[in-house]
């Protein structure tokens, strides 16, 4: 259902989410973010280019990290959301709570700016 790949670029951890995140697969996203945080990354980018679908279970994972990331001064930026996926974030007004950018370079730029 979902496959998650991690790679590091310019000191940031990039989590690429491929496929669909629903109540059965949201745990995979949770584990990937937990690993990235556990390994001490201060900038986490979530590549959503190949994310075809997300339900509230996946959105809940992002929400559940907001406070921890704030406390640990970790910047997380999502990028490359397809319109149908972005629409789900918008229905809930999550675009105001999470950092979302168009592409990787903008996401990295924002993560760097916020880290200062």
Partner 1 sequence: MNYRYNIGCSLTNLKGIRDFVRKTLIENNVPEIQVSSIVLALDEMCSNVMIHAHHCNPDDSLELQIKHPQTHTFIFEIIDDGSVFDINEFAEPNMDSLVHDKRKGGLGIRLVKSIMDKIEYTKEEGKNICRLTKKV
| 36-44, 55-63, 72-80, 105-113 -> range binding partner 1 (CB under 8 A) | 55-63
Among 10, 39, 60, 103, indicate the residue that binds partner 1 (CB under 8 A).
60
Q: Does 72 bind partner 1 (CB under 8 A)?
A: no
- Whichever of 36 and 104 has its CB closer to partner 1, that residue is 36
Q: Does 31 bind partner 1 (CB under 8 A)?
A: no
Task: List, in sequence order, the alpha helices (H) in the chain.
Answer: 26-38, 56-71, 83-91, 104-115
Q: Does 38 bind partner 1 (CB under 8 A)?
A: no
DSSP per-residue letters across 21-37: E-TTTHHHHHHHHHHHH
Instruction: Report helix, strand or coil for 10.
Output: coil
* N residues, the chain: 116
CA distance 47 to 96: 18
Interface residues with partner 1 (CB under 8 A) are 1, 20, 22-24, 26, 53, 55-57, 59-61, 63-64, 66-67, 83-84, 87-88, 91-93, 97
């Amino acid at each position: 259902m979902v496959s998650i790949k991690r790679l590091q670029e310019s000191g940031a951890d990039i989590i690429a989410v491929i496929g669909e995140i629903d109540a059965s697969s949201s745990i995979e996203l949770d584990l990937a973010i937990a690993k990235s945080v556990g390994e001490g990354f201060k900038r986490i980018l979530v590549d959503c280019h190949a994310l075809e679908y997300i339900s509230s279970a996946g959105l809940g994972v992002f929400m559940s990290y907001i406070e921890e990331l704030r406390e640990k001064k970790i910047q997380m930026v999502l990028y490359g959301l397809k319109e149908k996926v972005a629409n789900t974030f918008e229905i809930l007004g999550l675009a105001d709570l999470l950092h979302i950018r168009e592409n990787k370079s903008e996401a990295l730029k924002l993560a760097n700016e916020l880290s200062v």
